[in-house]
Amino acid sequence: MARKVLFLLLLVLILAPAGVSVAQGPSGLPVDVPREELFVADQIYRFSSGIGNYNLWSNGDQPHRHALMMETLWLRDMETGELIMDVAISGPEYNDDFTQMNVNLREGIFWSDGVEFTADDLVYTIETIRANPDMPASGGWASQLNQYVDTVEKTGDYSVQFNLTESNPRFHTLFEARWNGIYMMPKHIFETVEDPVTFRFENPVVLGAYVPTQFDPNGYWELFERREDWERTPSGIITGNPGPKYILLIFYGDSAKKAIAMSRGELDVYFDVDYEAFQTTLDTTPTARSWYTEFPWAYPNEVDARNFDFNFESEPLFQNKDVRWALALSLNIVELQTEYIGGVAKVTMMPIPPTQLLSRLYHEPMQEWLNNLEIEIEPGEMFKPYDPTVPDQIAAWAEEQGYTVPGDPVDVFGYGWWKYAPDVAERLLLKNGFTRDGNGKWLKPDGTPWTIDLQSPPDENDAFRMGTAAADMWSDFGIQVNLQGLERSVWDQNRFVGQYQMSTPWFTFVLPSGDSWPQIRGWHPQYYVPNGEDFRSKGGGTAFRLNDPKIGEMIDAMAALSPDSEENVQAVIELSKYWVENMYSITAISFKKFVTWDQRYWTGFPTSENPNYMPLYWFQGGKFAFQNLTPVTQ
Amino acid sequence: MSLLREFILPRLLQWALVIFVGITITFLIPRLSPVNPISQALGRLTAFQNVAPEAMVELRETLEDLYGLNGSIFDQYVAFWKRVLRGDLGPSFSAFPRSVNEMIGAGLGWTIGLLGTAVISSWLLGLLLGSLAGYFSNRWWSQVLDKLLIFIYPVPYYIVAFVLLMAFTFYLPIFPLVGGAKGTPGLNWEYISSVLHHSFLPAFSIMVGALAFRFIMAKTLATSELASDYVQYAEMGGLPRRKIITNYVMRNTMLPQITDLGLSLGAIFEGALITEVVFAYPGVGSVLYNSIISADYNVIMGITLLSIVGIATASLLVDLSYPLFDPRVRLR
Amino acid sequence: MITVRDLLRFSPSFRYGAIILMVVVVLIILSYFSPFEPDDRRAVPRNEPPSFEYLLGTTSTGQDVFWMLTFAIRNTMIIAGVAVIIGRTIGVLLGMISGYVGGTLDRVLSSIVDSVIVIPRLPLVILIASILRGQITIITLAVLIGILDWAYPSKRYRAQIFSLREREFTQTAVFAGMNTFKIVVQEHLPFLIPFLLADMVSGFLFAIGFEVTLSILGLSDLNAQSIGTMIYWGNYYQALLSKQIWVLAAPIAASVLIVVGFYLMSIGLGTYLDPRTRLKRLEVRG
């Protein structure tokens, strides 16, 4: 008898939730606010630090959270490349030799507790960061502030003057947020705190338009509420729009989960998914769209590029320029971009993505040089490797698939790439002592079979598919390629200590502003560290162990130039030409993201027809994309 | 009293030894990993920033200090035990400055709840059904269950979980996609029902496999047992079926099955890693996975420590209770 | 003496199990005649559903699912086989020594076994996989899995043996003057063997399940075909979401069939070898 009762109890326990769920309906959102006032965004990853602790100076910022809450002096828009005034009201004003910088601040912006923002806050922020170099997230800032800032003082309620220890035309970039920057601290709060490093800012006072109100202790979601006085914040002023009353950031999981969530109406935007999940979204969610309404859908202008790099020390063969060129010429970029990537990214032959601004600064002016570029096959026999018809070939493929290309192929697919010339590649190899064996496989000059170890992290979709393409094509060409799909931290670690031959990293020469020096300063040979040690031990930046004095010279020359000057642009072009001639890396495509918005409840986001702000909302400068949203009127 | 001295005390000593050795091994192994937590942290902190080279060097030193990773391995080992005996599991590296205690605390309740219920109910149900099916091996329901569970049992857990997820959140969207519950914790029906709602799919996915396993095991053992003489005598003697099954067949098959239950419960602290990843359930398992990936030594140690203590204690309790369940066990 | 022919004739479960395993063996043999190399991408048109030309369809990377499956079954069987052999050998030896010898040796061995059991396995393997940094081969994986799965079983064998030792028939045999070895072989083994067979099946399941788990986390040799890696790649290219079910259904069905096959055979064998149930069965037939 007792057993029967037990049995029944178990049955009830098992079936109850099913009954409950039917009663509740499918809403899986963890918060209870009216859906038409709520905008649900992809949190991208699960928060592990900073849960309930909004001291972002100590804790480290999380994307989109910092955009919603924090402000710095300037923001850089990746789409247009322009400098947006955040808390500052004008650009940085330097004196003639760049040893002094003046900043004018906005009047009339307030912290969320009603206190006005003034120059005192900025000065206090600088002093506090300088004085606390062991704040984990601000350690980098502290170091640089301590190095460059002699004194900082307010010259008025809304103006500040920095006196620098040495000439630094790029000092303002510390406050110019691409991803993040030095955030303004509320002086009136922090000065009452005992230790800014360990202070848990649980009820944050923010300068941005949104205040965090609820959070998941396990880091899966966070709810923000718009301030009543949103017109007294920079993003409110700039967009002139209130934006959604509530914003929920939520982490659903991998691509599949995000697509499922959007199809259920529980996600209004996600930052990226893989190609197949995106196709599912197109099929299941007719109200969803990405940058382009049709092919190629994806947002193509994030400032970064995907490359194959060579570790010059792991494989001495890679130090031979001809070998690098041979590898580049035996890749069929059209096939890579169409069959493996789906045709949805731009191609680029150097580590500079062809965005609006950067095309104008670099790609356009270099086309003539590229068309005339020659490499030597045999003494006296030259070959022109550049192929400007690549975008047209891709467009032809697209049309075969039934897609319409939304504009000029160059605008949609990039400028051009290297020709697919395996015969030339073969000659280059033969010239250098390579031979083919009976099966057509390549043998190195010492007679051993040529194997390339190519490492790529599968969770970085495009990089891995690019790697797969290369593995297939180079195999066809006769090289044995060992494609290793490594877990992300292992892949990172291998790069840190140089334990790889070829890899698929993503990097770019330039910032969205067009300046290059901050990106490549670590490539100076003075920071070179051999394989086996962490390449950053001296602070340097090349995992591929580049040790070229010419690059060092170019970097030194750039350091002294003002980032907005014409000379700087020319210097970068010089660098690019040198890099490309030597084929130091094989850059294939630039970054793309399937940033997809669902118009069930909200509209007004950036699209190709309406590129008002950049859609990359997880960057500091992406805040406007949310602020600009308006409800879909029923 | 001699029982205490001859059996219990040595067993307790064994328990302590096992925990000590297990923890030492787990201390050493992550440090063998090539993934260096400081390199990872540096990578995270400087991913999009342009940090000056000098700053980079300073940052590395600061991190080493903060993480307590300076000094020889032996120094770190001693410092570790000192910390642990005080109850402090240290700061997490990947989520600095959040403490490991905090991270585990946030997830432990969910893991225990989910796994506890799943393990216990599937064990009970499986044992019951399996023994019954073994005894009544000729009945139609016994055969049907048998055939059905044979096909379910071998399906790899991930597939079961993933198919359930797809079926009931996508094709038939009746379950939520993420999290453990909705709204703020409280002792009201809304919150509790949301807990049930969120945990149903993950628990069910675990139970499917566990139930099948237990059923098959119980049935095999019962079938073996049934061939014994005493069962035939009992039947001939006219003892009621129910009594034969519970008092004789099941009791005699208990020993290995209790062992399994004990060890399964002890393993709860390990967390249901795959379950939590597939269903985005906020337990301890996904914390563990992320910490392994990023070589976050302290978190790995913290969770593994709990797990080791859990399993060792479960093992101890099971051993101590052998005589209770099987009086035939004499100890030499 | 029992011959395989008798088994096939009288035990339906053995028969079905044998049939299934024959199919598996045929598939494995077929893998040696595959027109495609296991890692040959773009060999066939992509994303084709099953048809006459492509029996089980094709994948997103342009590989024929049927031929991939033959390789996958071969490799998974190798991994599981090696793992089970390693694991169960150690487990049985330790369990029997512990169970029969008893005393201090038992306590020492038990402590060792317990120290190993308490270490959580999945995290350990994930850790080791990251230490090996992508140099895992099929055999390494097999050895790794085998080394993980002897502790639990040895405990169970030990428990069974304790139980058996105290049974009446054991006491009888001891009193009758049988030497230990004879007791073990003639009296206990008939009980142990069915248990062992059932346990080996669970060992196989564990090995296959673990291999699948590791592959799904991306921690095994992703270039080799195995049931786990087929599922991994199927998921990677979102087979379920894009309704290309055949890519995932094939490896899942294969894994289910393999274990069911083994299980059925082991039941058949087990009931036949156990002298007590043989009696019971003869009774029923009559």
Greater model confidence, A208 or C222:
A208
Q: What is the DSSP letter of A245?
A: S
Q: What is the C-alpha to C-alpha distance for residues B159 and B150, in angstroms, rounded to an integer?
A: 16
- Best residue of B178, B190, B299 to probe chain A, by most A CBs closer than 10 Å: B178
Query: What pLDDT is stored for residue C1 in this prediction?
Result: 44
Burial class of residue B63 in the structure, from the number of CB atoms within 10 Å of its CB (0-12 exposed, 13-18 middle, 19+ buried)? buried
Neighbouring residues of B14: CB distance < 8 A, sequence distance ≥ 6:
B316, C107, C110, C111, C114
CA A138 distance to own-chain centroid: 20
Contact B14 C263 (CB under 8 A): no
Residue with the two structure tokens 């790899």: B156
What is the per-residue pLDDT for B138? 79
Q: How confident is the model at residue A580 (pLDDT cuts 50, 70, 90)?
A: very high
Question: How far does C263 lie from chain B, in Å, by closest CA?
Answer: 8
* Residue in the structure block whose two tokens are 């901050």: A518
Distance from CA of C180 to the nearest CA of A (A): 43
Contact state of B54 with A260 under an 8 Å Cβ cutoff: no
Nearest CA-CA partner of A204 in A328, A71, A318: A71
Q: Is residue A454 over pLDDT 90?
A: yes
CB contact under 8 A, C130 and B155: no
Q: Range with the lowest mean pLDDT among A129-138, A564-573, B119-128?
A: A129-138
Q: Do B53 and A140 touch (CB under 8 A)?
A: no
Most confident residue range from A15-29, A417-431, B310-324: A417-431
Q: Write b or e for each residue in C18-50: b if 16 or more Cβ atoms lie within 10 A of its Cβ, otherwise e.
A: bebbeebeebbebbeebebebbbbbebeebbeb
Of C117, C123, C208, the CB nearest to B311: C117
**Is the bond preceding C123 in cis, omega lying within 30 degrees of 0?**
no
What whole-number percentage of chain C has pLDDT above 70? 89
Is the pLDDT at C286 greater than 50? The verdict is no
Confidence of residue A22 (pLDDT cuts 50, 70, 90): very low
**Cα Dmax for chain A:** 99
Which chain B residues contact residue A537 at CB under 8 A? Answer: 57, 60
Residue of A574 and A23 predicted with greater confidence: A574
Q: Answer yes or no: are the C-beta atoms of A65 and A179 closer than 8 Å.
A: no
Determine, for residues B25 and C119 on separate chains, whether the beta-carbon distance falls below 8 Å: yes
Residue pointed to by tokens 């190993």: C116
How confident is the prediction for chain A on average, in pLDDT? 89
Say how far apart CA A73 and CA A95 lie, in whole Å. 19
pLDDT digits (tens, 9 = 90+) for B264-276: 777 677 667 888 8
Q: For residue A117, what pLDDT band results from cuts at 50, 70 and 90?
A: very high
The topology under which CATH files domain B108-294 is MetI-like fold (1.10.3720)
The pLDDT of residue A600 is 92
Question: B179 vs A60: CB contact, 8 Å cut-off?
Answer: no
Cβ of B45 and A60 within 8 Å?
yes
In angstroms, the CA B162 to CA C216 distance is 11
Q: What is the pLDDT of residue B74?
A: 86
Contact C238 A485 (CB under 8 A): no
pLDDT value of position A281 = 92
Instruction: Please indicate whether, in this complex, the C-beta atoms of B329 and C163 are within 8 angstroms of each other.
Output: yes
> Cα(A562)–Cα(A560) distance, rounded to whole angstroms?
7
Q: pLDDT, tens digit, for every residue of A309-321? A: 999 999 999 999 9
Least confident range of A121-130, B14-23, B90-99, C189-198: C189-198
Report how far residue A387's alpha carbon sits from residue A349's, in angstroms, rounded to the nearest whole number.
10
Chains sharing 3 or more CB pairs under 8 A with chain C: A, B
Model confidence band, residue B73 (pLDDT cutoffs 50, 70, 90): confident
Average pLDDT over residues B201-211: 88
> Do residues A433 and A299 lie in contact, with contact meaning Cβ atoms separated by under 8 Å?
no
| C-alpha span between A576 and A510 (Å, rounded) | 10
Average pLDDT over residues B210-233: 80
Residue from B309, B228, B296 nearest B270 by CA: B309
Nearest CA-CA distance, residue C181 and chain A, Å: 43
pLDDT of residue A363: 94
- Rg of chain B's alpha carbons, rounded to an integer? 25
pLDDT given at position C122: 78
Residues of B with Cβ-Cβ distance to C256 under 8 angstroms: 151, 154-155
- Secondary structure (DSSP) of A440-473: S-EE-TTSSB-EEEEEE-TTSHHHHHHHHHHHHH
- The position carrying tokens 């642009």 is A569
Taken in order of first residue, the domains within chain C and their CATH numbers are 4-47+61-285 (1.10.3720.10)
Q: What is the predicted ipTM?
A: 0.80
The residue ranges of every structural domain in chain B are 108-294
d(CA A419, CA A390): 8
What residues of chain B lie within 8 A of the CB of C231, using their CB? 156, 158-159
For range C24-49, the mean pLDDT: 86
Question: What is the C-alpha separation between C106 and C29, in angstroms, rounded?
Answer: 45
Report DSSP letters for chain C, one per residue.
---HHHHHHH-HHHHHHHHHHHHHHHHHHHHTT-SS-TT-TTSS-TTPPS-SSSTT-B-TTS-BHHHHHHHHHHHHHHHHHHHHHHHHHHHHHHHHHHHHH-HHHHHHHHHHHHHHHTS-HHHHHHHHHHHHTT---HHHHHHHHHHHSSHHHHHHHHHHHHHHHTSHHHHHHHHTT--HHHIIIIIIHHHHHHHHHHHHHHHHHHHHHHHHHHHHTT-S-TTS--HHHHHHHHHHTTTTTTT-HHHHHHHHHHHHHHHHHHHHHHHHHHHHH-HHHHHHHHHHH-
Tens digits of residue pLDDT in A478-525: 999 989 888 888 888 889 888 899 999 999 989 888 899 988 888 999
Q: Is A485 in CB contact (< 8 Å) with chain C?
A: yes
Say if B40 is an interface residue toward chain C (CB within 8 Å): no
pLDDT number for residue A211: 94
pLDDT for residue A26 is more than 50: no
Contact B313, B266 (CB under 8 A): yes
Per-residue pLDDT tens digits for A210-249: 999 988 877 888 999 999 999 999 989 999 999 999 999 9
d(CA A157, CA A118): 6
What confidence score (pLDDT) does residue C271 get? 66
Task: Give C142-162 pLDDT, tens digit per residue.
Answer: 888 888 888 878 887 888 887
Mean pLDDT of A267-275: 92
Q: For the CA atoms of chain C, what is the radius of gyration?
A: 22
pLDDT of residue A518: 86
CA distances from residue B149 to A351, B197, B204, B213 in whole angstroms, order as listed: 56, 26, 15, 8
Chain A CB contacts of C36 under 8 Å are none
pLDDT at position C285, please?
Answer: 42
- Segment (H or E) for A328: helix A321-329
Residue A492 contacts C, CB cutoff 8 Å:
no
Coarse DSSP helix, strand, coil percentages of chain A, rounded to the nearest 5 percent? 35, 20, 45
Report, as an integer, the average pLDDT of A149-164. Answer: 92
* Nearest chain B CA: its distance from C71 CA (Å): 19
List pLDDT tens digits, range C79-125. 999 999 999 988 888 888 888 777 888 878 887 787 777 777 877 88
Q: Do A483 and C238 touch (CB under 8 A)?
A: no
Specify the pLDDT at position C134: 63
3-state secondary structure of A307: strand
| pLDDT value at A86 more than 70 | yes
Is the pLDDT score of C65 beyond 80?
Answer: yes
CA distance between the termini of chain C: 20
The answer to whether residue B331 scores a pLDDT higher than 60 is no
Percent of chain B with pLDDT over 70: 91
